[in-house]
Amino acid sequence: MRRSSRHSGGLTTRRYPIWGRVASSGLPTMPAMSFVEVTTPQPHVALVTLNRPERMNAMAFDVMIPFRDRLREIGSDNDVRVVVITGAGHGFCSGADLENPGTIPNVDGLTVPTLALRAMELLDDVITTIRRLHQPVIAAINGPAIGGGFCLALSADIRIAADSAYFRAAGINNGLTAAELGISFLLPRSVGQSRASEIMLTGRDVSAEEADRIGLVSSDVPGDALLTTCYETAARIIGWSRPGIELTKRQLWNSLDASSLQTHMDAEGTAQLFVRITTQNFEESIRARREKRSPVFLD
């Protein structure tokens, strides 16, 4: 898999607080470099690295737009079965970049209110893109996940944290709301309403150890074991059938939106029946069990 390159774009001299700058002149917002790297460290695994370590991989638009675009490309790569997301350096993602928020494309002529809406839509797209990927996504949280970085971690299907990681819903610390990019929806469903309220209303740090204890992450591991642990998890997922994994991911996310237990069970039943009837996976699992071997799912 090739490494990605940053989309080129310029900016005007007019600044918009928080929301970045408008792409129109020929001047670069940031140094010409790749802020997102994609590699294939293991068969069928894509490692996507936010690569702006000097800013703790902050969510500048020059980082998030190519990040979203690379994820969409990976979603169409049928050789990739699992995606691992991490940050370069000592941080996972430090949220909004208040010093150099980057370039917002295609907003010429917009006023500040509409520009702000476009900016939020771009960041929302990152979260929904991760949710909609066919492949399961593992967040390898190698350091602080702050503000939008916390939200980014929550959008993954599986979260594994290095022991140096911590989480902070930082909007409240900055005089804003702590609710952004889906966190007020996802966090209560991960750790419960009371814990989520306390974390978001106090703006305190949640250590990797606490995150493991309350179910925010699947596990916390030594930093030098983080990616290895993620790859081991990925290998186990890859061993199962592709439609089984993809539909399981879909039903897990659908459960968050289901209006009732019955509605969700109906969707689960349809997915289960689809795999049972259209593949030979169930028959293969029975043969493998009888022959005392690992199943080989070809569908």
**pLDDT tens column, 226-243:** 999 999 999 999 999 999
* Residue 182 confidence (pLDDT): 92
Does position 32 have pLDDT exceeding 50, yes or no? no
Lowest-confidence segment of 105-114, 165-174, 210-219 by average pLDDT: 105-114
pLDDT band of residue 210 (cuts 50, 70, 90) is very high
Q: Which of 177-181, 203-207, 264-268 has the lowest mean pLDDT?
A: 264-268
User: Closest Cα to residue 167, out of 201, 196, 208?
Assistant: 208
pLDDT of residue 184: 93
Q: Per-residue pLDDT averaged across 43-60, rounded?
A: 95
Q: Is the pLDDT of residue 27 over 50?
A: no
Contact (Cβ atoms closer than 8 angstroms) between residue 196 and residue 187:
yes
pLDDT at residue 7 greater than cutoff 70: no
Model confidence, pTM:
0.84
Report for 67-81, 265-279, 282-296: range of highest mean pLDDT = 67-81
Are 83 and 71 in contact by the 8 Å Cβ rule? The answer is yes
At 275, the amino acid letter reads V
What are phi and psi for residue 38, nearest 5 degrees?
-120, 125
The pLDDT of residue 196 is 97
**Can you tell me the distance from the alpha carbon of 101 to that of 20, in angstroms, rounded to the nearest whole number?**
5
DSSP-H helix ranges across the chain: 61-75, 112-132, 148-154, 183-191, 193-202, 208-214, 226-238, 242-257, 261-278, 281-290
Q: Look at phi and psi of residue 235 and say left if phi exceeds 0, alpha if psi is from -120 to 50, else beta.
A: alpha
First to last CA, the chain: 24
Q: How confident is the model at residue 69 (pLDDT cuts 50, 70, 90)?
A: very high
Q: How confident is the model at residue 13 (pLDDT cuts 50, 70, 90)?
A: very low
Q: Which of 47-56, 101-110, 278-287 has the lowest mean pLDDT?
A: 101-110
Whether the Cβ atoms of residue 103 and residue 122 lie closer than 8 Å to each other: no
Higher pLDDT, 100 or 203: 203
Nearest in space to 123 (alpha carbons), one of 95, 88, 143, 146? 95
Average of pLDDT values for 82-86?
A: 98
For 155, the 3-state DSSP assignment is coil
In the numeric block, the tokens 């997922």 are attached to: 237
Mean pLDDT of the chain: 87
Task: Please give the backbone phi and psi of residue 170, each rounded to the nearest 5 degrees, phi first.
Answer: -80, -10
pLDDT at 20: 44
* Token pair in block for residue 298: 């070809």
Of 154, 151, 141, 152, residue with least CA distance to 207: 141
Q: Is residue 5 pLDDT above 60, yes or no? A: no
Region of residue 56 (left: phi > 0; alpha: psi -120 to 50; beta: else): left
Q: Report how far apart, in Å, the C-alpha atoms of 51 and of each of 6, 162, 205, 274 are.
A: 11, 18, 24, 40
- Cβ-based neighbour number of residue 99 at 10 Å: 8
